Amino acid sequence: MTQRLTTASGHFVSVGGNVNLYVEDVGEGKPVVFIHGLPVGQAMYEYQRNVLPFKGIRYIGIDLRGFGKSDRPLNGYSYNQFADDIRRVFEQLEIKNATLVGFSMGGAIAVRYMARHQGYGVSKMVLASAATPLFTQRSDYPYGLPVEVMESLIEAAQQDRPQLIEDFNSTLFHQKPSQAFIDWYNRMSLDTDPVAFAMSLKCLAYEDSREELNQIHVPVCIFQGKNDTMPFEPQIKGFPNAEIIVFEESGHGLVFEEKEKFNAEILKFVQA
């Protein structure tokens, strides 16, 4: 087993290639593994990390490579590599019978993990505002953004990343957050490695998980904001037996806009 360094509430887990991921591991009970979206790290789940462990949940939040406190190599920013890194975390922390939660891009990565690693260590999955099976349009897929829009964002990331992040984050919420919250979220976003940010935008533009949905054989719950611009009809088709939870007052950022409901539905699904 690879050695891991431990902080007060977290681990640095080696995933190979001299890359270490930071993992928050808090509480005891049923494990719930949280995969963050773009452009922030697992710290976006503050309101889960500080609540769910008091309710019998083991919170496990992973900073993907290039995000948060994890190492920042120049390469490896693909759904396949993210999924392989997550597998190493499951192995090193001996995580079993977990609920895997993926938000936005993290939802797409969760799908890739489940298909690529046959659901190793996972017994349930939550897709929250998930960018899956595709984030962009194709000739046979009318949902999402045109690829050209994403290409323009990738170019903008090379020219004025702070402005792009501010503009990008402003589209997440149906309810207007406080300015202090926006400043906090933007600071987290700016802390993401610039290469990881740009390459993750490229993942959103070109990764395709349509063939993977039918390879997932655990109970799935889909969380979706009623006012989210990301359609979730393809997910419903891909997971016809999934439970659907609509967040009536939320846009894309349902984790924050209805955090009490988000936590309650996580608990309900995990403990069922």
Return the active site residues. Answer: 104, 228, 252
Closest CA to 135 of 196, 202, 83, 199: 202
Let me know if 187 is exposed, middle or buried by CB neighbors in 10 A (0-12, 13-18, 19+).
Answer: exposed
Dihedral (CA of 53, 21, 197, 140) sign: negative
Three-state SS across 126-151? EEECCCCCCCECECCECCCECHHHHH
Element (H, E) at 100: strand 98-103
68, 46 Cβ separation under 8 angstroms: no
